[in-house]
Amino acid sequence: MTDPPAVALVTGGGSGIGAACVRALAAIGHHVVVADLDETSAKAVAGEVDGVVAATNCADPDSVDEAVRRAVAHGRLVAAVNSAGVSGPASPLADYSNEDWRRVLAVNLDGVFFSTRAQVRAMRDTGGGSIVNIASVFGAVGAPLAPAYTAAKHGVVGLTRSAALAHAADGIRVNAIGPGFVRTPMLEQRADAGRLEQLTALHPLGRLGTPDDVASLAVWLCGAGSQFVTGGFFPVDGGYLSQ
């Protein structure tokens, strides 16, 4: 009997860091499920790698559970990258609305919880796997005009560590990556050329990150070379946090 195909699931896989992770995981032989709220973008990325599309709202636990069921239907879920996220408005805490707070937390923290929970449930009965949660440098430091984003990303790091401890005995590793400012469509929509130059200057390596910078680490954390690595928070930030 042949082993079932190795399946990877990527939330937010239709663009940016998620899309780079889809391509990188497919390149090492995984059958990838591209989960994204934007089904058109997900189809475009999935088409590049002969992957599967799952139209997914990560803020909805039922939608997340369905995406994981789709993944399991195609083989054994061995890897997952939770990359779906939103930025929220630039505003100090005193002026932040209830609606914006809930929207950012619903996707960036609740969504990672729903996704990680569903992935753990699928992996623990089939020999384990690796889950990578995309946090941020703002999972380690504060951002004065991003209270919801900062709170959510700190939460992702804590959630990751808790899950890693709870499910190590199930053969499941859970780690978080903390990107610095990465040149993605989401960043470019919010920052003009002058702002991008300012952001670049915040990184000692003298450039913004790329989605591939993050995907390279995500693939390592999903692979055989990181079998003794769990519960970690790994900055990919060009030195941002070292200042």
- DSSP character string of 163-213: HHHHHGGGTEEEEEEEE-SB--HHHHHH--HHHHHHHHHTSTTSS-B-HHH
- φ, ψ at 135 (rounded to 5°): -95, -125
- Total number of domains in the chain: 1
Q: Please tell me which residue in 114, 138, 149, 181 is annotated as part of the active site.
A: 149
Q: What is the pLDDT of residue 189?
A: 83
Q: Is residue 103 part of a domain?
A: yes
Structure tokens at 165: 């401890």
Q: Is residue 1 part of a domain?
A: no
Clarify whether 96 is annotated catalytic: no
Q: Is residue 243 part of a domain?
A: no
For 194, residues 6+ apart whose C-beta sits below 8 A from its C-beta are none
Q: What is the pLDDT of residue 188?
A: 84
Q: What is the pLDDT of residue 2?
A: 74
Indicate which CATH number applies to the domain containing 23.
3.40.50.720
Number of neighbours of residue 238 by Cβ within 10 angstroms: 22
CA distance 156 to 210: 21
| 8 Å CB contact between 137 and 235 | yes
In the chain (243 residues long), the average pLDDT of successive 10-residue segments reads: 89 97 98 98 98 98 98 97 96 98 98 98 96 98 97 98 98 98 87 92 97 98 97 98 96
Q: What is the pLDDT of residue 195?
A: 92
Which structural domain, as residue segments, surrounds residue 208?
6-237
Number of neighbours of residue 71 by Cβ within 10 angstroms: 27
CA distance 62 to 188: 31
Q: Is residue 242 part of a domain?
A: no
| pTM assigned to the model | 0.96
Q: What is the pLDDT of residue 1?
A: 61
